[in-house]
Structure 1
Amino acid sequence: MMSAYVEFVRLRFLTMLAYRVNYYSGIIIYAINIGAYYFLWKAVYGGQETLAGFTVAQMTTYVAVSWMARAFYFNNLDREIANEVRDGSVAVQLTRPYSYLMVKMMQGFGEGVFRLLLFMVPGMVIACLLFPVKLPADPATWGVYLVMLFFSFLINSQLNLLTGLCAFYVENIEGMIRMKRVLVDLFSGVIVPIAFLPGWLSAVMQWLPFQAITYLPSAVFTGRTPLSQAGGVLGLQLVWFIVLLLPIVLMWRTARKRLFVQGG
């Protein structure tokens, strides 16, 4: 059965490979985003050495690695589930001898592997050539960060699954999908590092899974969080991965019983 799930990873990778225009345009778009945020933060610093514990070099690297990490963990599993519920194809999926949600996770991972190899890596090379990005020299930092990046994918995908499962309960979740995407980008630290948020809001973020997606892994990668504390970050990511499994299982059990097809 596991080999069948691996096949879904391969098929999604090949599907992504077929749309090369999206791939090339995506690298350009992400490079523009990194450049825009680089010059914005350069103006915010205004000659100061540090802000909120970030040096200029750390912030430059943080911006680049955060956007490139987003390229890996980002997927549209929520919209895919909503579309399949809307057109009725989810009913066919549920009759097949495999876990529907597991298939979605594998498809998302196949997309992530494609983005990692053919989007994130070349995009990071371009960012290093255009901007003063300082990558860590310690191989251990790279190894730990890759593990964290995998958990970032898992947690973000779990949030997407939760959002997508809402399509079993309401007829249209497009607004919910957009709201979720804004919340993830804002509170995960892609747009603004959590250290720059007001104290009360930063404290609230400690109790939400968003920081485990981007901010904490990127803080380790840039050196703001020492490598000796990386175990705590990995532990927190593991905790959120386990915690998010519960609502997914509960929602899925009830969603299958109340499925109604709107189209077909």
Structure 2
Amino acid sequence: MDKYAEMIRIRFLMMLAYRTNYYTGILIYAINIAAYYFLWSAIYGDKPSMQGMSLGQMTTYVAISWLSRAFYFNNIDREIAMEIRNGKVATELIRPYSYLGMKAVQGLGEGLFRLFFLSLPGLLVVSLFLPLQFPENAHTWLSFSLSLLLSFIIYSELNLLAGVVTFFTFRNEGVLRAKRFIIDLFSGLILPISFYPDWAQRLMHYFPFQAISYIPSMIITESFQGVAVRDGLLMQAAWCALLLLPIGLLWRMAKKRLVVQGG
């Protein structure tokens, strides 16, 4: 366990060396969120609410969705793909730790850095000029924090799954681009799931994407309350467990047919 904690620390310090880049990131996120705010303001017009959400809730939803993405987002799928192509994975596999576990905790270190140097400062900046509505209930914040952690786990598991596919394809840039687009579209980041047609909402229940962005954002805006919060957290926990199955299966298959290119 100590070696994984050390990996988190090392990745955090590596990101700290490039912290200046994230000052620009705060500005970019703020502009992006402001653009969404003006778009939704025009869509709402004089309507007090749409799909059970007021404009204030929608503004908060957008801000939290994008700033939460800075925490759960990582590139461990691309790192795995690169290490397979250049042969570094052969060295990593003989080291005394789980290769996939090491990648996951590195992603956590990266996420923690973004949380403190991008998400929280970005939220402060955005709240200065946009009418965000934050809950006063401590239980809501606790539920949101747990939900956000589960979001990170699910996103990382999907990245691990996409990365392991490289063992079979050697090059999967197209798969990685498609995966990122699908997650952004169907996770509720761009548009809340409740705004999709009923048939699309039912279909999305069979996929883990809404457990990444939609559920935590609905919790923090208090659009989910009581039983809905509990069900959302249970759904996220279930996907965390279910995604371990294909990862484990593909990983066992991948190690049996490992072919290293380069070296």
Amino acid at match of 1:145: F
Does residue 150 of the first structure (1) align with residue 130 of the second (2)? Answer: no
2:39 counterpart of 1:3: no
Q: Partner residue of 1:105?
A: 104
Matched residue, 2:37:
38
Give the letter for the 2:154 counterpart: I
Q: How far, CA to CA, are the matches of 1:73 and 1:135 in structure 2? A: 21
Alpha-carbon distance in structure 2 between the residues aligned to 1:123 and 1:81: 29
Distance 1:263 1:32 in 2: 42
Corresponding residue for residue 250 of structure 2:
251
Does the 8 Å contact 1:5/1:106 carry over to 2? yes
Q: What is the match of residue 28 of structure 1? A: 27
1:220 partner amino acid:
I
The CA RMSD measured in Å over matched residues stands at 0.9
Gaps of 5+ in 1: none
Aligned to 2:172: 173
TM-score of the two chains, using structure 2 as the length reference: 0.98
Equivalent residue, structure 1, for 2:65: 66
Matched, 1:232 2:231: yes
Matching of residue 85 in structure 1 with residue 84 in structure 2 = yes
* CA displacement, residues 101-148 of structure 1 (integer Å, 9 cap, x when unaligned): 000010000011111111111110011112111111111111111011
In the alignment, structure 2 segments of 5+ residues that lack a partner are none
Task: Say if 2:195 is the partner of 1:196.
Answer: yes
Report the Cα offset of residue 228 of structure 1: 4.5
* d(CA) in 1 for partners of 2:229, 2:51: 20
Once the two structures are overlaid, the 10-residue window that deviates more, 17-26 or 250-259, is 17-26
- Inter-partner Cα distance in structure 2 for 1:203 and 1:103: 35
| Cα contact 1:220–1:227 (8 A) shared by 2 | no
Quote how far apart the aligned CAs of 1:244 are: 0.2
SS of corresponding position for 2:136 = coil
Name the SS of the counterpart of 1:169 in structure 2.
helix
Q: Distance in 2 between the 1:104 and 1:30 partners?
A: 26
Give the letter for the 1:165 counterpart: V
Deviation at 1:74, TM superposition (A): 0.3
CA distance in 2, matches of 1:257, 1:87: 18
Answer yes or no: is the 8 Å Cα contact 1:141–1:227 preserved in 2: no
Aligned residue pairs: how many? 263
Q: Percent identity?
A: 52
Moved over 6 A (4+): none
3-state SS, counterpart of residue 48 of structure 1:
coil
